[in-house]
Amino acid sequence: VLNKREEKTGSIIETAKNYIKNNYHKDISLDDVSREVNISPYYFSKLFKETTGENFIEYLTNLRMDKAKELLQTTECSMKEICVKTGYSDPNYFSRSFKKNVGVTPTEYKENRGKGQEQGSV
């Protein structure tokens, strides 16, 4: 019974992670994802944290930041375009969130193409 439950939990979380990866650029919420996997938001939140070690918002933000860093390093997209492509509607909020999570502004990151810019890299 325990193995079946772990299997089902893993499947639910994998489905949720795939949904998030396919929709991170949209305005998605924990409610949207929990509906997608057909369990209550509260239970989904608890399962997600137990399984991934991150809560939903941390996971979504980290995914969005990784995509933003990739776009900043590999494209000539404007900040506004990157903002939209990573699911943010407000460029100022995107910039603040990026600086908080990465340690430098998106512009600084782009200028240096990410070299030695992230927090903790020395």
Find the CATH number of the domain harbouring 91. 1.10.10.60
Pair 20, 60: CB distance under 8 Å: yes
Residue 116 lies inside a defined structural domain of this protein: no
* SS (HEC) of the chain: CHHHHHHHHHHHHHHHHHHHHHHCCCCCCHHHHHHHCCCCHHHHHHHHHHHHCCCHHHHHHHHHHHHHHHHHHHCCCCHHHHHHHCCCCCHHHHHHHHHHHHCCCHHHHHHCCCCCCCCCCC
Task: Look at residue 122 in the predicted model and tell me its pLDDT.
Answer: 34
User: Distance between CA 122 and CA 86 in Å, rounded?
Assistant: 27
The domain total for the chain is 2
Q: 101 and 79, same structural domain?
A: yes
Report the amino acid identity of residue 119. Q
Task: Look at residue 4 in the predicted model and tell me its pLDDT.
Answer: 59
Q: 79 and 45, same structural domain?
A: no
Structural domain span for residue 78: 60-111
Task: Look at residue 116 in the predicted model and tell me its pLDDT.
Answer: 57
Residue 112 tokens read as 């240096």
Q: 65 and 39, same structural domain?
A: no
Residue 118 lies inside a defined structural domain of this protein: no
Residue 122 lies inside a defined structural domain of this protein: no
Q: 94 and 73, same structural domain?
A: yes
Query: Each residue's pLDDT tens digit in the chain (122 positions)?
Result: 656 566 667 789 999 999 999 999 999 999 999 999 999 999 999 999 999 999 999 999 999 999 999 999 999 999 999 999 999 999 999 999 999 999 999 999 998 876 655 554 43
